[in-house]
Structure 1
Amino acid sequence: MSPVHPLDEAATARAVIDENGTLVLWNEGARRLLGYAPEEVEGRPAADLLDCADGTTPSEPTGTRWSGTLPLRHRDGRTLPVWLLAHRSGTKGQWLLVTPLHGEDQRAYDDPLIRAVLTQSPCAMAIYDERLRLYGLNEAMAEVIGLPEARVRGLRISEIGDKPESEQLEESLHDVLVSGEGRDVETYMRTGGENRAHAWLARIAPLTDAEGHVRGVCLAAHDVTEQYRARERLQLVNEASVRIGSTLDVTRTAQELADVCVPALADFVSVDLLDPPEHGGEPHAEPPSAPITLRRVAHRSVNPGSPEAVVTLGAVDVYPSASPQADSLIAGRTIVAPDTTTTLEQWLAWDERRWERIAKCGIHTTMSVPIQARGQTLGVAVLTRFRQPGPFTSDDVLLAEEITARAAVCIDNARRFSRERETALALQRSLLPQSLPRTAALEAASRYLPAARAGVGGDWFDLIPLSGMRVAMVVGDVVGHGIQASATMGRLRTAVRTLADIDLAPDELLTHLDDLVVRLSEDAGVEGATGEVGATCLYAVYDPVSRRCTLAAAGHPPPFIVPPDGLPRQIEHPPGPPLGLGGLPFESVELELREGTVLALFTNGLIESRGRESDVGYQLLSRALEQSSHSLEWACHAILQALLPVGGAQDDVALLLARTHGLAPSQVATWDIPAHPALVAPMRKQAVEQLDTWGLSEATFTAELVVSELVTNAIRYGDPPIRLRLIQDAAILICEVSDGSHTAPHLRRAKTFDEGGRGLLLVAQLTQRWGSRHTAEGKTIWAEISLIGED
């Protein structure tokens, strides 16, 4: 039925035949034509209405439209030659058959309505009456429809053209007929049985008589295919600029290129790239030579699963000189192969598997576009068509080259980013600790994750053993990303270890580190301007003997502590200015930690995330620490899983967890010594007795010599108060002598007849390591004696 005039069925004979040749619809016009009622023919084979006396039957129609005259059997036995127009309806496999019926109400051709048609106009024009049936058309419109006027007069536009476009156009005709107001309609449809659609601008105007009554509508059709395709090309280029290069990932960018081109430009697109040089560097500028080895990184098809693909994603294939891929790369230009049976015959004969796939899919044309950027050949994109009937035009070639050029720059940028990222990551990992040292003061676990997209940054962490079994914990973050940030991180980490080795207090260490960052900024500047070098840092020192932790921060997020059998909480301390501002003070805070307390130090990449407030990040971290603080390794895993997005962190993440251990009072012995030389021997004796108590008599000789030398020097050169302290662990014995003088001793080479000057040299030779550190009261000289192998 007509979508506009459902009651006007008698003017057209209409029938619908399904895919099995059975009549499924028979309208009133068909009854008038052949005399059969709908109930007499619906459900019967349509061939029963044919009167083929000579035994010949019409051939099965090909394409989407057919027209011709058939001998049909009337209900009264007569044979009527009937001209029929048939085209596929919206339902798959069904055919719609129509023929106009001309009754007594047919008006003369010289009616004023038909004279309104400008028969000499080059514009395709048609007149439809008040029933929206074709009343007349000019020669230009007859060429567009592909049928003479005599055959289609009396048919509606929905009975002539393809659905649903023709039905939508008929609705517009009806609106103009009812409202009396003209309108312009753009449509994209096939006409005249063409296999390729055109873009049309239909200008519809009402036709009125002398009294002003609307008696019909006039339709003028303008072919605007070129303008339509130009807009499509512009839209596709704009879409490509938005969709291609959304990430700095080579595979993702290549897939975006394929996705943009299908189905707008091709039915199947494959993207194959040359593998980069094994040892890095730039690809060769010269064109490659055949055969060429390419790696499939992306493909896309209008069919699910891309059945046209011969090469799987990630696989490598070799292309000989006769292939379009190799020919276009060697020539450095786009090559279009419209005929697979001749142009590609040599290649397909060499690759039978590809020939079978092309024949099965019906591929009829290919276009190979080199992917080139900055004078380098990166790969090739191959566009093929099998569903779109037309070959690639010169405009298609220009469009494909424009899109591919945009993608090539993005692919080259992604490769350069990948190379820089790999270099920076290698540098970063070489500068970070490969493993954490085992100490009696702490049990520790750590994680470092580079940013997923922004590139490697300057986050770092460290665990530094200090004298007296103390341990320093460090977490820092350099501003920026890339190799420069990693190099700056390495310099700062080295500086922290150097400053920690001389046992500076946390606030004093950060002050020296701030001076270093200021100098680095000055060195990074050009022409008198200061460079942008900045960092944040948190430095903490834990003493297992006193079980106290001293820490200071330079613009760094505060750490968390988890007491044994307690809830996680943030440590409140002065945040301090970031490193690099210069001249601003840093403050230390001292905490007393119970044994088994967990410290969580981290960089802001763990807490901060796009679309999430930092307070939410702190809450997630607190919850993760509460649920998994029993195992530090598992806690690191749980924290990263709870706080980081699925696609990876947006910034570098450094995480350091440490559980404190305290030394039992029985592991430490302390003596206050009056400043008198006669007390050196008694102190040696007490030290030996303490070693016997600890079961370390094998270390007596070395310990006795070290105690004697250090106590003697303190009495002779130092100031009161003087104190001796012995600390023992399973692996080492520490001898410490403190005094009130700030003058540190140093090694010197004694001359042959000198009576002194050899004590510290002997201490250095007999101990594992030795040194001095400044304290609030003066200094402490210490020496470590290894106990491994002594038992």
Structure 2
Amino acid sequence: MDPSDVENADPAGAFRGATSVSGAGPGGRPPAFDGLAAAVLDDRGTVVGWTGTAQDLTGFCADEVHGRPVRELVADLPHDPRRAAHVPATGRVRLRHQCGNTIDVTFRTTRVSGSADFLVLAAPTPHVADHRHGAALLRALSAQNRITIALHDTDLTTVQTNAMPDTPDGRPIQPGARLGDVLCAEDAESIEAVLRQVLETGAPVIHRNQRVSWRHHPARRHALSLSAFRLEDTRGRPAGVAALYIDDTDQLRARRQLDLAHAVAERVGGSLDVVRTAHDLADALVPTFGDLAAVDLADAVFDGDEPAERLGGGDPHLRNAALAPATADWPPGIQRGNLVPSLSDHPLLRRFQHGETVVYHRDDYIALIGGPHSAEQFLPHDIQAVMVAPLHARGLTLGAIVVWRTGPSESFTADEVDLMRQIASRGALAIDNARRYTREYRAAVALQQRLLPPATTDTPAAETAGVYLPTDRGGGTSGDWYDAIPLPALRLALVAGDVIGRGIPASATMGRLRAAIQTLADLELEPDELLTRLADLVQRLAAEAPPGDHDVMGATCLYAVYDPVTRRCAMASAGHPPPVLVRPDGSAEAVDIVPGPPLAVCGMPYETTTIDVEPGSVLALYTDGLVQQAAHDVCDGLQRLTDALATSCRPGRALEETGRILLDQLVDEAPRDDATLLLARTRAVPANDTARWRIPADPAAVSDARAWATRHLTAWGLDDLLFPTELIVSELVTNAIRHGRPPAELRLIRHHVLVCEVTDSNTSQPRLRRARTTDEGGRGLFLIAQLAERWGCRHGQNRKTIWSEQPIARAH
């Protein structure tokens, strides 16, 4: 072969026209091939050297090909004497195999230094194509900014990589390096354990999430997606590990920010309690956004009021509402409920006061809170950066969110500042809603409590104690009430009621109903009659209400009247749960009362139930918030109340203390409804302090009535009341005989007042009038009104009673 021909070798050359037909070795399989097949040709194209890999490729041994022209080993090559010695630099031909098949190979030739011979290297074309494609793929992967590819040998030493650590000089990682030379020791050990497992088992790892830090910058954490697979030679033996690292830091940060925003939206705003909302906000930020977080609120916000606008340094009038995590080692000055210290008039503070979210570096923050001395009290340990975001809503700065990053943490980015601005905006709206609810709730509770009677009363009929527990749920107070109303003749009316609805409207309705019941109670109506008239009133209130509120205007009510003289209690219910009676022996049971419809329903009758009550018994009236708890239905709740009353109502224990104990035992930590409880320990007027006399239907009996009354007053030591009492008895008995119907009765009761009563069967209402000078009568009731401290008339079934009261204390 002419050397000049080799130097000007044509890519097709002597092999032009050879076809690219794939061949196979014996059995139709590609021959085993560990490396490149090599042969040496002289300058005439004769084979003068033959390697073992060439024998593996073609099946011909060296003795069979030595001295033969290489053209004889090429299949389907047209004969061209002019090109016999022309060997191209590269090309693709089909070689004959000893078994008769052909093999498609790609070859390259090169002159042997210092000789006229040529070295020919050949490999099966599919192998060459794989190599080219693999090399192209490797180059393409290496060119990607977010994809790092690393090839490791069997001892995990880096053979090739395109990794560019985030170093000041920006130099690439050199071959021969190990992961521990680049990554933090813990991260390098973690990744090497994964690669070693891939190398040993051959099982690939796909998209394994890995957090790593460079050795020179441990504070910055990178999120990587690791994929690794084992490299093998042609015989299937492990040759190393290929690892692909995809930097997901930005995507992970964006995903976490989205998750954080979603978590804040879910967790913050579910409570209408200001402090609870602040806790939810702080907890949502740690540890996703920062290592420590605090929410500080203006003092006025805790009470539901609007904070004042403040600019410049000084006392910010902020108080800590929430810390996260609560178990962290917080400095002494940062504790739940502590005031925020006075602040310096720093430019960054002014930006915050104008509604901007501000990032402070350590030195700026120390200057803001008053210098190094204050830092010991108000600076968490090892902080690197602080972000402060105003809680700004409806033109009001309600407080601030403070987030600290400590230790080897990254500083806050501009994206995170924008995210915090959104979080603070949502948090501010939630806190403002809670603040406004707190204001309305406190107003409703204050109104409700102002409308309730004194917690305790002491009357001749009973001592009473009432306990009221408002709900802390979002709906506000629900208009529950109780009342103890003294009535003439030493009697006592007991009331418990529950208004439909919540908030101030419910409290206002409760106040109107309580006033109506007191007015109707003064008329001394029977319980069923009083509830009937009260139901009529509720119907009128519903008619006056706005159209949308007609269906929510109503109430339930229990009205009971206890008489200490007869020791009997009459009661009626308008859809209200029955009272519980605790006897002096400690036994307790719910009174079997016939409930009528709620007060919003008219046209249905109410029924009065009368029971005997021993002195020293306790009557318990309540609303359904006491018996209707989350874990119990009404029947179970009533039984729990009955059992608790039997245990707690001890003779020596004050009723007010008993009521508090019962509420603690029976009411959930977060009650769904208001709960009220009225306890009344009954008393009785001794029999020797009362006297009865049947009035004959004879005008002459008036003098006998005066004499009878005089004897009893003298026996009771009430001589100072003889004259006015004789006049009162004369007038009342005269009217009963003259205008009433038999039977008639005169009754005297001695207690702190002297009660004089005359009962007859005429139900007509007596009227007080001023008699003219010439009138012979009509002065009786006018005279009684002058002599007695109080007088009145009450009606019962087919009877009426006119009564008067004279204070006994005035007589001494």
TM-score (norm 2): 0.77
The match for 1:468 is 489
Establish whether residue 747 from structure 1 lines up as the match of residue 771 from structure 2: no
Shift of 1:247: 3.0
Distance 1:179 1:618, change over 3 A: farther
Q: 1:168 to 1:516 in 2, by over 3 A?
A: farther
Distance 1:641 1:355 in 2: 44
2:42 aligned residue:
none
Equivalent pair of 2:312/2:350 in contact (CA under 8 Å): no
Seen in structure 2, the aligned counterparts of structure 1 residues 762 and 353 have a Cα distance that, compared at 3 Å, is farther
2:681 aligned with 1:659: yes
Match of 1:711 in 2: 733
Question: Counterpart of 1:516?
Answer: 537
State the shift of 1:435 in Å. 4.5
In structure 1, C-alpha distance between the alignment counterparts of 2:166 and 2:296, rounded to whole Å: 45
Is the contact made by 2:228 and 2:242 (CA closer than 8 Å) also made in structure 1? yes
Q: 1:247 aligns with which of 271, 280, 284?
A: 271
Matched AA of 1:474: V
1:199 equivalent to 2:223? Answer yes
Query: Which protein is bigger by CA-based radius of gyration?
Result: 2
Q: Please state whether the residue corresponding to 2:811 is helix, strand or coil.
A: coil
Whole-Å separation in 2 of the counterparts to 1:436 and 1:139: 85
One of 175, 188, 191 as aligned partner of 2:211: 188
- Counterpart check, 1:504 vs 2:528: no
Matched, 1:370 2:393: no
Confirm or deny: 8 A CA contact 2:163 2:173 kept in the other structure: no
Residue 630 of structure 2 corresponds to: 610
Match of 1:589 among 609, 629, 637: 609
- 1:683, distance to aligned residue in structure 2 (A): 0.9
Q: Which amino acid aligns with 2:424?
A: T
More divergent stretch after superposition (710-719 vs 314-323): 314-323
Q: 1:487 is matched with which residue? A: 508
* Candidates 700, 725, 730, aligned match of 2:747: 725
The answer for unaligned runs of 5 or more in structure 2 is 1-130
Hey, what's the Cα distance between the residues in 2 that align with 1:577 and 1:359?
64
Return the alpha-carbon distance in structure 2 between the equivalents of residues 213 and 272 of structure 1: 65
Secondary structure in 2 matching 1:742: coil
Match of 2:458 in 1: 438
Indicate if the aligned counterparts of 1:267 and 1:387 stay in contact, CA closer than 8 A: no
Q: Which among 392, 411, 415 is matched to residue 395 of structure 1?
A: 415
Q: Deviations over 1:519-546 (max 9, x none)?
A: 222222327x724112111111112222
Report matched runs for 1:18-37 at 5 Å.
Answer: none
Q: CA deviation at 1:415?
A: 1.5
Q: Which residue of 2 aligns with 1:268?
A: 292
Please report how far the alpha carbon of residue 709 of structure 1 lies from its aligned counterpart in structure 2 after TM superposition. 0.9
SS of the residue corresponding to residue 783 of structure 1 reads strand
- For residue 721 of structure 2, what is the amino acid of its counterpart? A
Note the 1:547-558 alignment, pairs <5 A: 547-558=567-578
- Does the 8 Å CA contact 1:558/1:570 hold for their aligned counterparts? yes
Q: In 1, Cα distance between the equivalents of 2:282 and 2:297? A: 13
Counterpart of 1:458? 479
Tell whether the 8 Å contact from 2:310 to 2:316 is kept in structure 1 after alignment: no
CA displacement 1:64-83 (0-9 Å, x = unmatched)? xxxxxxxxxxxxxxxxxxxx
CA distance in 2, matches of 1:183, 1:346: 50
Do 1:446 and 1:656's aligned partners in 2 also have CA atoms closer than 8 Å?
Answer: yes
Match of 2:330 in 1: 307
Cα distance, 1:429 vs structure 2: 1.4
| Residues 608 and 238 of structure 1: CA distance in aligned 2, closer, same or farther (over 3 Å) | same
Change (3 A) 1:445 1:366: same
Q: What secondary structure, in the 3-state scheme, does the structure 2 residue paired with 1:199 have?
A: strand
User: Is the alpha carbon distance of 1:360 and 1:758 closer, same or farther for their aligned partners in structure 2, counting shifts above 3 Å?
Assistant: closer
Which residue number in structure 1 is paired with residue 249 of structure 2? 225
| Cα pair distance change 1:137/1:357, threshold 3 Å | farther
Q: Which runs of structure 2 are paired with 1:80-229 in the superposition (5 Å)?
A: 118-119=138-139, 120-122=142-144, 123-129=147-153, 131=154, 133-140=156-163, 149-150=173-174, 152-153=176-177, 155=178, 157=179, 161-162=183-184, 164-174=186-196, 176-177=198-199, 178-181=201-204, 183-195=206-218, 196-210=220-234, 215-229=239-253
Q: Is the Cα–Cα contact under 8 Å of residues 732 and 787 in structure 1 kept in the other structure?
A: yes
Alignment partner, residue 776 of structure 1: 797
**Per-residue deviation, 1:114:** 9.8
Contact 2:304 / 2:435 at 8 angstroms: preserved in 1?
no
Residue 779 of structure 1 deviates from its aligned partner by 0.9
**CA–CA distance in structure 2, aligned partners of residues 790 and 358 of structure 1:** 72
Task: Give the letter aligned to residue 399 of structure 1.
Answer: L
Alpha-carbon separation, structure 1, partners of 2:728 and 2:383? 89
1:526-605 to structure 2, matched below 5 A, reads 526=547, 530-605=550-625
* Counterpart in the other structure of 2:662: 639
Cα shift readout 1:253-309 (whole Å, capped 9, x = no counterpart): 22332332233223333333223299975445x664554522222353669554346
Whole-angstrom CA distance in 2 between matches of 1:467 and 1:513: 21
Query: What is residue 35 of structure 1 aligned with on the other side?
Result: none
Measure, in 1, the Cα distance between the counterparts of 2:305 and 2:274: 16
| Contact 2:358/2:388, CA 8 A, preserved across alignment | yes
Flag the 1:397–1:360 CA change in 2: closer, same or farther, 3 A: closer
Q: Which moved more, 1:385-394 or 1:400-409?
A: 385-394
3-state secondary structure, aligned to 2:561: strand
Distance in 2, matches of 1:522 and 1:384, equals: 59
1-structure distance, mates of 2:174, 2:335: 57
Q: Cα distance 1:574–1:397, how it changes in 2: closer, same or farther (>3 A)?
A: same
SS in 2 for 1:410: helix
How big is the shift at 1:251? Answer: 2.5
- Relative to structure 1, is the Cα distance of residues 748 and 613 closer, same or farther in structure 2, using a 3 angstrom cutoff? same
1:677 aligned to 2:699?
A: yes
What secondary structure sits across from 2:466 in the alignment?
Answer: strand
Q: What is the aligned partner in structure 2 of residue 258 from structure 1?
A: 282
Say which is worse superposed, 118-127 or 703-712, in terms of deviation: 118-127
Report if the CA contact (8 A) 1:245-1:407 is conserved: yes
User: What do residues 123-160 of structure 1 show as CA deviations (whole Å, max 9, x unaligned)?
Assistant: 3101234x46135222236679988655644x4x5786
Q: Aligned to 2:353, what secondary structure does the other structure show? A: helix
Asked whether the 8 Å contact 1:300–1:306 carries over to 2, the reply is no
- Give 1:544's aligned amino acid: P
Contact 1:328–1:368 (CA under 8 A) maintained in structure 2: no
Report if the CA contact (8 A) 2:302-2:435 is conserved.
no
Q: Is contact 1:118–1:138 with CA below 8 Å preserved after alignment? A: no
Aligned residues: 672
Name the CA distance, whole Å, in 2 between partners of 1:299 and 1:509: 52
d(CA) in 2 for partners of 1:699 and 1:241?
A: 77
1 CA distance for matches of 2:463 and 2:383?
Answer: 65
RMSD value, Cα: 3.1
CA distance in 1, matches of 2:507, 2:607: 27
Write the distance in 2 (CA, Å) between the matches of 1:324 and 1:588.
76
Structure 2 distance, partners of 1:383, 1:324, is 19
Q: CA deviation at 1:248?
A: 2.4
Q: For 2:631, what is the secondary structure of its paired residue?
A: coil
In 2 relative to 1, CA 787–656 (structure 1 residues): closer, same or farther, beyond 3 Å? same
Contact 1:442 1:471 in 2 (8 A): yes
Name whichever of 249-258 and 569-578 sits farther off.
249-258
Conserved? CA contact 1:114–1:127, under 8 Å: no
